[in-house]
Every structure is written in C-alpha cells, then in structure tokens.
C-alpha cells in the first residue's frame, strides 16, 4: 500500500506561512509582488486564492500580521494554475494576479505572483540593466528571452537575459559572442534559442548564427554555427514551422533546420511581418504580410486573396488563426484575420480605436493586445488597446510609455509583456487582465 502524497500551497510575503502534514509532502510557497512603488495591496482586506485543478478556493481576512492561507491536496501529477484576488472592504476586486500552470506533485518550489489592478498595465518588478531600443525576444515555456538592442547612445548591445514568469525575475545570461541590434530569435528544443543576423558594432548586417543553451548553469552557453555572409540581414523574423525548423524573413528567404541554414528556391524573399500557428488540421502554418498575404503550409507557399499593408504586425490568435493589424499610408485601424487552414481572410474594419504603424502585438487565450506604434506623423503612440481574442471586439484602452518597435509577448501567466522599442527605455511593462471565469 502506498502512502498518499500531497502538495501544500502556502502563501507567504504578505501572507503568513502554513504547513502541510501527513504523507509525502511538497510545499509550494507563494509570494506576492507589485510594481515598484505601488500601493495596490494596501486596500486589500480579503485575500482569495483559487487553485484551478482540482478547483479549490480559500479566503483569509487581513489581521494585524497579514493573511494566512493554505491549500492541501492529493499530488496527482496533474497541472494547475493559482489565481490570487484581493478584495477591499466593500468586496470589490482591487488587485489580482495569476501563476503559470505548474505540476501538482510532491515538490518543493516557490511561485511569485505579480499583483495589479484588474485590466491594467504597470511597470514590472524588474527592468533591463540599461535603456535599450530594438530589443529582440522570443517566448519560452516559462517566460521570454530578451537579446541585444541599442543602448541610449545607439550602440548595439551584447546583453541577453531571461524573464521567468514563475518567479518574476530577470536573470542576465552570459553576453552574446558579439553585440547585436535587430537580431532574429526563436526557441528550439531542449532549452536552445537560435539567434541570427542583426547589426554588429560596425552597424553592418551580419550572417552570424548562434545557439544559446539556457540549460547550462549558471548563465547559459553558446554554440557558434556555420556563418554564411551572403545571408547577412537585420530586423528580420525567425518563425517556427516545425521541430527545430524555422523560416527566416528577408532576401533570400531562408530555412533553418537542425542548425543548418539554406536559401529557399520557391520564394525570393519574405517580409518581416509574420506569425505561425498549428492550424486546426494539425499542420504548422505561417502567414507573411506585405502588399499581399503569403501562406506557408505543407512546405509550400501560396498567395491568399486580399491585401495587407506595409508596417503592419502579425500575431497568432486562438483557434489556428493569425491576425495582421496596423500599417498602411496613412496608418489603418483595420485588422485582417486569416483562417490558416482555409485561407479565408476576414477584414475587421476599424478594429482599433487609434490608427497605428508598426504596433507591438501579442495574444493570449482571451486577449489581443495592440500597443504603441507610430501615428501618421511618425510620433510614438502612448496607448495600448485590449481586444477580445476571439471576436476582436474592443475591451479597453490603457496608457503606456510612448514607444514603437517594442517586443511584445504573451506570458504563460496570462499577462502580456512590453519591452524595448524607441525611444530607449529600461522599463518592462506588464498588462494584467481580470481573473478568468472558472
């Protein structure tokens, strides 16, 4: 007969620790943090903690020593997220946050939840080591990698860092083999991140290809892969279309497969506006947008009906769809939603409240965030729009730092990150949604 295994979820920081007893146990401690200088938790009188699976809810009222909350459950080996809600004296929700999904097993771990007003954007608890523009990034299962860019003087940077959404930290990696701005990034298998091209210290495009291994302690390690000077480029995208297989935009269009670069023979070039999804058919599909919409599916390209515009941005949506938004001369408020399986293009007229060129775009399962960009006069826009990810119906418009060309990424805890962009800033901004309906 086996003994039961349990995991205790214990809230710390503002909340007193509690213990789990009996059987083989694991303890996941929870800390709550906010934006620097934020007082959003001061008004919280009731703290509610929800485990999503199996669903459990516990609440605690504020005492002289804070809050005390604990959950104990069978460590079944499933996965769950933790939702934290702060209520004021009237019962109104004034702060919320969510963890990424984690395994409910008998492990000892620590999770940090970023708390903010629901449907708001605020500074992250961490920031870049210095102001930078043209920061490149790619998503990981637990956060994002941020690489290169230009410092306040315009010089390319060799900095690389990993933002971890489980503990809200930004850990610097070992410097890149050379400074880069406009480098293309994509995450591969086994903790590897590929970095290609970008401009170096002499401000000329390069054809360097590196693989950054995020699993090597303490700060990662690099493998330098064969370089082909004829493939030099900057400001391009690396789009995943299979396991360790990517398309790289620019001229000539490239395929990166298992660490090897090759020019495509079926298309001369690809614009630096694109995104990829696993279509409803299960096939990896990518859309690239410029004056026309180009689809990559089944290792072949075809042209879709309908048009796009220069200086647009693309992002993957739920349901195997891709959205192309912004761009044009003058900038457009329209969005185009592409069903990647059928190739049908649906124009959503006036989806945006503000016309934008080169906005930063990222989508979660619930929200599409369209941030910054430039207006018709070329000035950076200081607002972010939140749309429903399924319908593109407007939800909210929020103020942000005025910036264009920022890196936007959906984090595994349902937040969206903004970082980099012009003008240069060290600040990382986080959009925090309201808690999901359970």
Tokens at 90, concatenated: 């009237």
Residue 20 has pLDDT above 70, yes or no: no
* 128 and 60 co-located in one domain: no
In a domain, 108, yes or no: yes
In this prediction, residues 12-35 reach a mean pLDDT of 60
Out of 96, 114, 132, a domain closes at 114
CA-CA-CA-CA torsion sign (270, 273, 278, 282): negative
In a domain, 35, yes or no: yes
Q: What is the dihedral of CA 230, 233, 237, 242, to 10 degrees?
A: 20
* 50 and 85 co-located in one domain: yes
| HSE toward the beta carbon, residue 386, CA cutoff 13 A | 22
∠ CA 403-308-354 to the nearest 5 degrees?
A: 40
Q: Which residues pair with 385 in a beta bridge?
A: 370, 397
**Sequence-separated (6 or more) residues with CB below 8 Å from residue 81:** 51, 52, 98, 99, 100, 101, 102, 413
pTM of the entire predicted model: 0.93
360 within 8 A of 341, measured Cβ to Cβ: no
Total residues found in the chain within this entry: 438
* 293 and 424 co-located in one domain: yes
315-344: burial string, b at 16+ Cβ within 10 Å, e else: bbbeebbbbbbbbbeebbbbbbbbbbbebe
386 within 8 A of 74, measured Cβ to Cβ: no
Residue 23 has pLDDT above 70, yes or no: no
Tokens at 269, concatenated: 């070039």
* 294 and 225 co-located in one domain: yes
Coil, strand or helix: which one is 187?
strand
* 184 and 213 co-located in one domain: yes
Residue 14 has pLDDT above 50, yes or no: no
Residue 236 has pLDDT above 80, yes or no: yes
pLDDT digits (tens, 9 = 90+) for 184-195: 999 999 999 999
Q: Which residues form the domain of 147?
A: 120-432
Q: Token pair 């060309």 is at which residue?
A: 405
Per-residue DSSP letters for 153-178?
TS-BB--EEEEETTTTEEEEPPPPSS
pLDDT digits (tens, 9 = 90+) for 154-202: 999 999 999 999 999 999 999 999 999 999 999 999 999 999 999 999 9
How many structural domains is the chain composed of? 2
37: left (phi over 0), alpha (psi -120 to 50) or beta: left
Tokens at 51, concatenated: 């485990």
Out of 92, 114, 136, a domain closes at 114
Residue 287 has pLDDT above 80, yes or no: yes
* 110 and 124 co-located in one domain: no
Residue 110 has pLDDT above 90, yes or no: no
* 357 and 252 co-located in one domain: yes
d(C-alpha 338, C-alpha 347), whole Å: 9
**Residue 66 has what pLDDT?**
82
Q: Of 227, 240, 308, nearest to 271 (Cα)? A: 308
**Residue 109 has what pLDDT?**
75
In a domain, 438, yes or no: no
In this prediction, residues 95-111 reach a mean pLDDT of 85
Q: How confident is the model at residue 281 (pLDDT cuts 50, 70, 90)?
A: confident
* 64 and 195 co-located in one domain: no
Out of 65, 90, 114, a domain closes at 114
**Residue 126 has what pLDDT?**
97
**Sequence-separated (6 or more) residues with CB below 8 Å from residue 78:** 53, 54, 103, 104
d(C-alpha 354, C-alpha 347), whole Å: 17
In a domain, 437, yes or no: no
pLDDT digits (tens, 9 = 90+) for 307-324: 777 889 999 999 999 999
* 241 and 362 co-located in one domain: yes
Tokens at 52, concatenated: 């999503």
* 341 and 197 co-located in one domain: yes
């Amino acid at each position: 007969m086996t003994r039961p295994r349990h995991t205790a979820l214990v809230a710390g920081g503002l909340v007193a620790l509690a213990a789990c007893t009996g059987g083989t146990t694991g303890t996941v401690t929870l800390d709550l943090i906010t934006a620097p200088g934020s007082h959003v938790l001061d008004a919280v009188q009731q703290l509610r903690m929800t485990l999503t699976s199996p669903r459990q809810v516990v609440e605690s009222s504020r005492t002289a020593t804070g809050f005390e909350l604990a959950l104990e459950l069978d460590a079944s080996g499933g996965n769950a997220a933790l939702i934290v809600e702060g209520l004021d004296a009237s019962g109104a929700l004034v702060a919320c946050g969510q963890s990424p999904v984690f395994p409910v097993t008998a492990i000892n771990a620590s999770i940090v939840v970023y708390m903010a007003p629901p449907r708001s954007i605020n500074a992250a608890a961490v920031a870049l080591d210095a102001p930078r523009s043209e920061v490149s990034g790619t998503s990981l299962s637990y956060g994002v990698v941020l690489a290169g860019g230009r410092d306040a003087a315009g010089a390319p940077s060799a900095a690389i860092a990993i933002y971890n959404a489980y503990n809200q930290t930004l850990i610097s990696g070992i410097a890149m083999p050379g400074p880069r701005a406009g480098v293309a990034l994509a995450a591969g298998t086994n903790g590897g991140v590929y970095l290609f091209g970008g401009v170096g210290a002499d401000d000329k495009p390069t054809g360097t290809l590196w693989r950054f291994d995020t699993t090597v302690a303490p700060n990662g390690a690099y493998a330098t892969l064969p370089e082909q000077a004829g493939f030099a480029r900057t400001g391009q995208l690396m789009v995943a279309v299979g396991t360790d297989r990517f398309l790289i935009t620019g001229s000539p269009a490239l395929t990166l497969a298992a660490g090897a670069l090759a020019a495509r023979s079926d298309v001369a070039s690809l614009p630096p506006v694109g995104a990829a999804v696993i279509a409803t058919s299960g096939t990896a599909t990518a859309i690239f947008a410029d004056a026309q919409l180009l689809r990559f599916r089944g290792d072949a390209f075809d042209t879709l009906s309908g048009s796009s515009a220069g200086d647009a941005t693309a992002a993957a949506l739920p349901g195997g769809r891709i959205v192309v938004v912004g761009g044009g001369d003058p900038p457009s408020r329209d969005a185009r939603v592409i069903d990647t399986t059928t190739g049908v293009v649906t124009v959503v007229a006036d989806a945006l409240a503000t016309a934008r060129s080169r906005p930063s775009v990222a989508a979660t399962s619930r929200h599409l965030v369209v941030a910054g960009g430039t207006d018709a006069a070329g000035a950076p826009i200081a607002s972010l729009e939140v749309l429903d990810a399924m319908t593109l119906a407007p939800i909210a418009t929020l103020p942000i730092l005025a910036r264009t060309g920022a890196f936007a990424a959906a984090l595994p805890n349902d937040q969206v990150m903004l970082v980099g962009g012009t003008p240069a800033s060290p600040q990382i901004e986080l959009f925090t949604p309201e808690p999901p309906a359970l």
